[in-house]
Structure formats: structure tokens, C-alpha cells
Structure 1
């Protein structure tokens, strides 16, 4: 009996772990040790990049990466690296051309040899794995001509207005004039946000009625994607008169709810309401806000990242579309609720905060301002480092308890997307409140990012501080994040009167504005387009000077707050550039001209209308 017992113990301690190890892929993190292992063991590198809210990623994780033949092939022939694209925005951006999931193959020296986009099931993934292994054994792997671009060796010297006009034309070529938005089905919740703001800006600059109507179609398109039961916006919805694949069923939507989509929807509705006064847009804002409050808000007021497309154990034969078509909360809960990814990312929260500020400016609903301030306060309190930058993510108990595809890896290093978007959010709160503490915090981030991330030689910003892997894979300056950074520094220059920031903004554009890069980024160019518009058409500054305790000062500020001017920079200012006239007065200026001193809040809208066009002196 003792020998039998000892045998059972031996099986549990030695054999069971070995069997278990053979049943899972030996995933590694993106770090030097993984790349060194590939070189030492002479193995091909497989990098899987995805995100928790991606249904296609979940299918590949559950069907393909659990297949015994796939596991055996990968563990025998590859060094496997897994990356969460949102926790590591530098890597997510690098491989966004193949999103999501993106599967990248590299030779042992980390030269990319193949990249594939989207989910693969075992029957069509195994031949790819076998082909990669065979080519490596035969020494016939070739560099992939579509590998991610590296940082340009020199800045662009083309006139920025020419780069701007070329990018306008590039964006317009994919503009869907029937449905609004970009692409065959019109609005795509993630990619249409910045391009829609860009379209509204251009319509405003040139009083272009056609662009204005197309922009309103875009705002209306987001309404079609709202979940009527829980609120919130699906990632995409299809027009009623369009033929669609049967898998989308009667729902006619892709039922994934990502935080970026919610930010974009709030912004689209807020601007739509500001232009039309149509109650449907106010209701749209309320529906997104309802969802964020009930499902996506952390206890400290920050926002989670996404909600997956279906509960864990739907009955056989019930699709995600069938589930989301259930018409009540109670009916859905009978089958469970789709899991929420409880990771909190700083860049995504910056986008939400900025959207809530636009909603507040448009509607005057102070709840939206309160939500923005609460989230920003939490991030400043828990994530700002001593030298002024903010981390992208921190550990939290809720995320630790999630059934994640990839572990939440938190890096104590600065990412450009976090600095640029959170800095932008802080300036948005400053624009909405006039409270100088937000400008001070934004300036701290701006100074820190300059020190840590700027390419001083060629301009622009690297995605993060180069680490040990930079000797293997060259650091990259992402186009869109540099666009966000350029807008942030341009606004910071006007608010702080630090002209150095203007040069930083222009250099951020020039540092990445190679035509081949802009063409390759294609539809992911909205933030870069916004930065080009700002730098080439300039700002419209609303300054209030005088006794700030006087009721007229707040009344002027409120009148400026509701003006639609995408380049608006609204703030209180000490006397100096403008005199103290004994009664609070507003001055609206661009590089060409200034308004007369405005004392009556009722005159602000009329005076602002004179500044809608580009500054002529640029």
C-alpha cells in the first residue's frame, strides 16, 4: 500500500506538472530574455498581439492556442511572446497594421519574416507554423517587405500646409458620402472619432455646408450603434439597407464595447447637438454615460477598458448577436453577463476625460465635468511619478481576478500615448474650468515627456524610453501619438506663453511626416490631421482679464465655453498683455487680430464668429 501511495505522490508531483506544461504554450513577455532565447536556441519567434475586448482574439485563444497540435508545434519550434496591445501601447501601435489579433513571425535575430491579420483556426494555422519551421530549417526565411517602419532618419522639410492638404485628400478618398464615416459601412466606432472631429473642424474653417452635412451623418451613425438595454455603443453597426454577413444576424452590429468607442460616441453626439440642438444627440450622450457609470467605472472614478462580446457559457446554438438582441436586463442576466476587462489605462482615460469635457461644454451638465475631474484626480494621485510623467497602468485587484487571455503586465516606464492623451485631458479640464492647477499638472507632463521621449536630433517623440530590446528592434516614433503630442504642445504653448513648445509641436509633426508613413497609416491618421490643422491654421484664444471674483468674469467664461470653435483656448489671464479695464473683459485673438474688449457675455458668440477661418498670416 505504501508503494502505491508513493507512486501516486510521484505522479502528482512530477508527472502531472509535466503533462500540464505540455498542454499549454510556453508564452514569454516582450523582453530581452525572450529574444536572447530565440537566438541562443536558434528558433523562430512568434509574437501574438491582441487585446482583451477583441472577440477574434478570444476565438484564437480558446480554439487555436489550446489545440494540442498547435501547442506542440509552437513549443518545439518557436519562442512564443504574447503582448496586450493596450498595456503596451508602443508594441500595439507597432503592429496595428495587422490588428487584431496580429501574429508576427521573426527569424531568431528578430527580423520580421511574416505577419498575419486576424483569427486563424488550427486547420489553417498549423500549415503556417509548419511552413515557418521548414523555411527556417532550410535557411530560406526572407525579410518581410511590409515590416513596421522605423523612425525616419531625418525630419520632413516639406511645407506643412502641403502635407496637410495631401492628408486631407487621403482621408477624403475613404469618406462614405452615403452613410457618413469612412469605409464601406460608414461609421467604425474606434477609427472614426478623430476623423469626425477633423471633418467638423474643416467644415467650420471654411463654412463648408457639404462637409458639415457629412459630419452630421457621422454623428448620426453613432446613434445606430447604441445598445438599447444597457446603453453604450457597439464597436460598429451596419446601415439597414446594407447586405451583411449572416453571423451579424438581426442585431446588425459587432457587439464589442470598447472604451475608445464610448469616448468617440460622446464626442460625436456632443458636437452634433451643438450644431443642431437635436434632442437625439443629448439622449445619445445620456445612453453612453449610463453605460459608463453602471459598467465601466472603477471605484476611484477611472474607467475600465472594455466589455467582452458574450458571457462565458452561452448555450450551444446561441450566438453573441442572439444574446445582445434579448430585450431586457433580466433576460440577459439569465445567461450571465459579458465579462469586463478591469484594467485601467491612462491613455484611454485621457480620451474619456476629454470627451466628457466636450459634453459638459456643450450641455452645461455639471455631472459630466465632475466625472472628468474625478477620473483625472485619481490618475494624478496614483500614477504621476516624481519627475512628472504618468504610468500607463497599475495593478488592481479587479483586473487580477479577471479571466484574462494575457496577464496584465504593468510597466513602470513612460509611454508617449499616456503622456500625450492625459496631458490633453488636463488641458481640456483647464479650458472648461479656468482652474490653474490643471495647467500646472499638464505642464509637468509636458516637460517630463520632453526630457524622456523627445528625439532631440530629428524631432518627434519615441513611443517609450528605449529599453534593452532597442538594440534588437529599432525604436519607433508613432504617427498618431506624435499627432496627439503635437496638438498638446501647441495648446500648451499658447496657454503658458512658452514659445519653445510651439517648436516642439512643429518638430513632432516633421519628425514623422514622411509621405510613405502617412500613406501606410491610411485610416489611422485623424489625430495627426488635427495637429496639422492646428499648426497651419492656428489657435483662437479667449482670454478673460479683470477681477475674477466679479460675476461678469464667470459669465464671460460661460459664454466662451459654449462657443463651438475646435481650436478654442479659453482661460483667465492676469493683466499685462491686455489692460485691466475695471470690469472683466474678454479678448478673442488669433495671430492676425484681436476683438474689441467684450464686456457683455451676449456679444461673445457674435465676436467669435469673426475668427472661424484660418489665420491669414500663416
Structure 2
């Protein structure tokens, strides 16, 4: 759900989120998507997206009603409860329309096109996304959530259906003319005009925009609602590193600390909720998305590397604890999301009263816990309490006259007891499909975390997930599929699937030095270039040659809730170019930057992941080769020094003396060998190489 969709998110209607199983199921019962299956017992005669539905629309001369959402979307549940389970609404839909349900997480290509339509027609967009199309798939009316009947100025869904049905029957020509006009506008939006190369001034401009929009009291940007948007912080860290401007780091630290202490972070179970409905990071929309966990973990990891502060490391561990406990399949892949609602009520799973807490912990510990996590009789969310931290441990311990270490122990054991009780509650619905793209992000996050925290279990989890994707979602021709669920892998991969997964594989190589991951990253990157590149305009289309051909192609560049595929692809190409010594990649990177340069210059703070890649282009970069044996003490010592430092413009290779397979990918390292039987560092800065050294103090000096 997007911010501009519904500002009443904190006053959630208490509707059931799961459709009661009644009567005969519709054809969605055969779909693998949890979202489509949630609608399988609606009286609406739903179709999945496909030719069968559009042929029926042509045959029966009916417009198409297209409804796009996802399984953990609160307002999708509300609209289902109010309208799609309603016999009156279903009768109108079934008699006058062909109705299609789409899971936006399975088919982001459709979502990209039709949300662009909605934004162009209404000025905003979000989910549920509802459109009316001609049988030729061309849109003529769009909106988001509609109540069954008119409410708070929102038009009623029944009235809309009757009006559109009458218009189709009485003036179909004008409807078709309108759909043609809208389609032309959308098609023209995909054309990009190459511009000039971007410079350091673009980075500075983006920083200034973020700084001017920063909330210096509570952190984050603007006012409520507040979204995490972690690539804003990874960009700011890079600007701080480049400019030595302390304000950039202060913005990052203020925000990540407030987020980590706020209600947007699950203080008992770990992990971040989707966004905060207020400016204080207190009351979240309680949904948990895999991509938010991955991107937040990356931002907290890099901030830990930049500052060395334990709070950020603990936040990373909390995120990974949640993901490895609750979001990991037995085969090793990562699930997509958890709902905001349980038992029909948003947030019910997560909130507490003081009486509940004191009953579990006892009077003394219970009162300490309630004071620390700001739990009161009045409550902060519908007469109950979202746990959050107003004061750091040191401040609170002084106020209470308790030693910080003792307080930490009291809080730790209290959290464990309360978590154990919470586990017995009815859990929110889990969307257990496994998406290649989002798994790529989590693999990258775990690999980065493993290096920074020197934690092998994160490496193992990342390897298991990568191997699962490679074994189940990579086809014999080397291309990727997007989705796995209940034993079925399906849907040709989109740009994000390639870009995000390659990102994960590059980081996983740097964490493991397993050459197969780097080799496959290069192969998949080549498939991506071959299948998605816009050879005329530069950059990459969201859909490739193996995807369904729709009414237009989109080219995503905005770095929103997730970074755009083009931003990530650019960074991957740059890193692989430096790792392999392939200068052709530098040319492709320049084409991508030119393709989007004019767009980005207009409002650079909207493209912060892209600017992380631009920061790499502008350098100085470090190419680090460690000649040494994997697992040996001297090699590991050097790698620990590298892992704990914030080195955003580095690539890292290991060159063992016994295994030469890395030389097949990076020929230039053949002569970079162990000196004096000790692990040796070869550090080049912007193509100029320093003398090899195995003196750890000299290595640290070069890294700094």
C-alpha cells in the first residue's frame, strides 16, 4: 500500500482477511499464488491473467475488470470483504464484465504498466489497483480502493460498475477512443532520450535535497507517513565518505537509530514493518516484506562498518534472526511477506497491555519492561501498546539506578519470555511464495552482514538460498524463472530477477570466494544484457524477449520501495567490469547513465540507488586481490580487516595458489601471487597499483 493511497491506515477497519470457504470454488483454486487463492471462493467468476479471459471478453463483447493486489495488502482484504465476497457485486461483475485477478508480486510487468496508467489518470496509485480494459488490454478507467457504496467522498464500486457497463453498451466507440489515447500516452513514456554524462554535482544536488527534507527531530524525510527507503541512507553514507560532510552521517545515524528504537521495528521478534503511519516511527503498517528486511539490513550493516557502533550490528542481527526463523523455507529459499492482520485486526499479533506483561514477567521485571518500552494503561494504539524505546539503555539505567549490563540482561530475558507467549497467538498470514528477485536482495544482505560481523551462519544461509534458486529457478538454457511455490517454478524472470540475483551472487562471492557464484553472476548478467537491453535508447526494459509482450514496455529507473532494476544492473555491470577486466562493461554502463541522465538531473534524490552506482563510476575505486589460501589464519586476518570497514567503491578477489579457477574469470590476477609464503594484498586504486604487501599495518593503511 502506498502512502498517498489511504491516510486512514491507522484507523484500520476490522475485517476478516481470509475468505471463508463456502460453496464451489472458482478457477483461481488452481493457481499457485497465495493472493489468487485467497479469492478462490469469491462468488466473482475470476480468471487469472491469460488469453482465455480476453477471448471470452471478445466473444461476449464485454469490458475487462482487472484487479491487482498482493496477499499481505490490508486494503485488498477490505475490498475483498466488502465487494468481492458480496453476492450483489459479484452478480453485476459476472453479468457485465470479464474479471481478472493478478498478483503484482508474480506479475510486476502488468503492475508496472497499469499503475502508471492509474497515476496518469488519477494522480496517485496503490493497491488494490483496479482498472477497466477493452478486450484488447487497453485501459480506459482506473482507481485504487473503492468501497461498495459511496463513503467519505470515495465513489461506490457498485455505482462505478453500473456506469461503466452502461457506457460500454451505449457509447462503446468513445470508450475505445479513450483507451487508444491513454495507451499512446503510456507507450510514449517508455521512450528515453539519451543525455549528458552525470557528474559529482548530481551527487551533491541529491544530498542537498535530502538534507533539506530531513526531519531533524525524529529522523527520516518529510512528515507522516514515513517509509524506510534504505538506499537513501546507503547513498548518504557514500556522500559522507566522499565529502567528509558530517551532516550526511548524522542524517543516517539519527534515522536508523530512531527507526531501530521505534514501533516500526519489531522489538520482540526482529525485523521491520512496512512503514510508519506517523512521523515518530511509532505506529507502523504492520505488514513485513522480505525486501524491506534485506535493504534495511544492508543500510544497518554499512552504517556499522562506517561507525563501529554496536547498535547497528545488533539491528542487523535482529533482522536476520527474524528472517532465518520465520521467513526461510525448509529448502533454503526465503518467503515473500507476512500480513499486517491476524484474526481480522491489524497489529493484533504485536500489541500488549501492561497487565499481560506483568502477569508473564512478574511485578518487578514487568514494571521495568513497561517503563523501558513505554507500555501504559492508556496505550499508544487502540488502547493497547506497540513496544518502542524512548531512551537508550545508558540513559534509562541511570534514571532507574540499575547498571547497564544488569538492565540489558533483565530486558533480554523479558523479551524471550514475552516472545515465547506471543508465538502461541494466531500468527498473521504468511505469503510463502519464493521470488528470485527478493531472494537476491536477501542473499546480498546476508553476504554483506557475514563479512561485516564475521558470522559464518549468515554466509551459510546465503549459500543455501542461492543454491536453491540455481537448482529450482534456473532453466537449462541458463535463464531465470521468477516464482517458486508448492513444488512449481514458473513465470519467465524480469529485469529485477536478474539484476537483484546477480547482486546477491557478486556479494556472495566476496563472502565465500566460491568461484561458481561469480561465474554464474557473469553468465546471468550476459543473459540480462542480451534479453532486456534497449539497444536504441540505452538502459534495460523491465520485460525481456522471453516475457509476455504487453501493450507497452516499461523502463523503470525510480528507486522507490525497492531500487530499480536499471540502478542495480548498472552497479552490477560496473563491479563485474572491474572484477573481470572487461572494458566493454564500462561502455554499457556509460550508455545506461546517459539514457537516464536527463531524468535523474531533474530530481536526483529520487534515484539514490542509481547514484550509489554513479559514486562508484566517479571513484576512486579500490581493486583488492588477496593472494592466499582460503581459511588460513593470515588470509582470514586480512579479510576481517576488509570486512569490518566501509569500502563502498571496492571489488575483492581471492587468488589461492592451489585453485586457479578464478584466473578464468579475472586473467589479470595470474601474476598476483603469495609473497614469502604469507597471504599478500594487492591493492590498486583507480587503476594504479601499490606494491604488494603482507604487512597487516601497511594493508590497513592502504584500506583507509
TM-score by length of 1: 0.82
Displacement of 1:184? 1.5
1:253 aligned residue: 284
CA distance in 1, matches of 2:40, 2:104: 26
Q: Secondary structure at the match of 1:392?
A: strand
Q: Alignment partner for residue 417 of structure 1, among 496, 499, 505?
A: 496
- Mapped pair 1:105 → 2:132: yes
2:48 aligned residue: 29
2:434 aligned residue: 344
1:126 aligned residue: 158
CA distance in 2, matches of 1:324, 1:220: 21
Distance 1:282 1:559, change over 3 A: closer
Q: Deviations over 1:325-352 (max 9, x none)?
A: 1363465456511121110111111111
Q: Secondary structure at the match of 2:218?
A: coil
- Mapped pair 1:525 → 2:604: no
Structure 1 residues without counterparts, runs of 5 or longer: 1-14, 243-250, 398-408, 610-618
Q: Alignment partner for residue 602 of structure 1, among 672, 692, 697?
A: 697
Whether the 8 Å CA contact 1:466–1:475 is kept in 2: the answer is no
Displacement of 1:367? 1.5
Q: Secondary structure at the match of 2:65?
A: strand
Matches within 5 A, 1:36-185: 36-95=55-114, 98-118=125-145, 120-123=147-150, 124-136=156-168, 137-139=170-172, 140-141=174-175, 142-143=178-179, 148=186, 152-153=190-191, 155-161=193-199, 174-185=213-224
Matches within 5 A, 1:145-294: 148=186, 152-153=190-191, 155-161=193-199, 174-185=213-224, 187-189=226-228, 192-223=229-260, 224=262, 225-237=264-276, 252-294=283-325
Distance 1:607 1:535, change over 3 A: same
Displacement of 1:523? 7.6
Displacement of 1:194? 1.8
Q: Alignment partner for residue 474 of structure 2, among 371, 384, 392?
A: 384
Displacement of 1:117? 3.1
Count of equivalent residues: 565
CA distance in 2, matches of 1:598, 1:285: 33
Displacement of 1:426? 0.4
Q: Deviations over 1:551-573 (max 9, x none)?
A: 53443233222221122211125
Whether the 8 Å CA contact 2:223–2:278 is kept in 1: the answer is no
Distance 1:125 1:331, change over 3 A: farther
Q: Deviations over 1:29-57 (max 9, x none)?
A: 33344344434444333222211121122
Q: Deviations over 1:114-136 (max 9, x none)?
A: 33234644442223323333443
Displacement of 1:76? 2.7
Displacement of 1:580? 6.1
Q: Secondary structure at the match of 1:100?
A: coil
Distance 1:567 1:119, change over 3 A: farther
Distance 1:151 1:389, change over 3 A: farther
Whether the 8 Å CA contact 2:447–2:511 is kept in 1: the answer is yes
- Mapped pair 1:566 → 2:599: no
Alignment RMSD (CA, Å)? 3.3
Q: Secondary structure at the match of 1:587?
A: strand
Displacement of 1:212? 0.8
- Mapped pair 1:438 → 2:511: no
1:496 aligned residue: 580
Distance 1:155 1:554, change over 3 A: farther
TM-score by length of 2: 0.72
Q: Which moved more, 1:573-582 or 1:534-543?
A: 573-582
Displacement of 1:544? 2.3
Structure 2 residues without counterparts, runs of 5 or longer: 1-22, 27-38, 120-124, 151-155, 358-417, 558-563, 656-662, 664-668
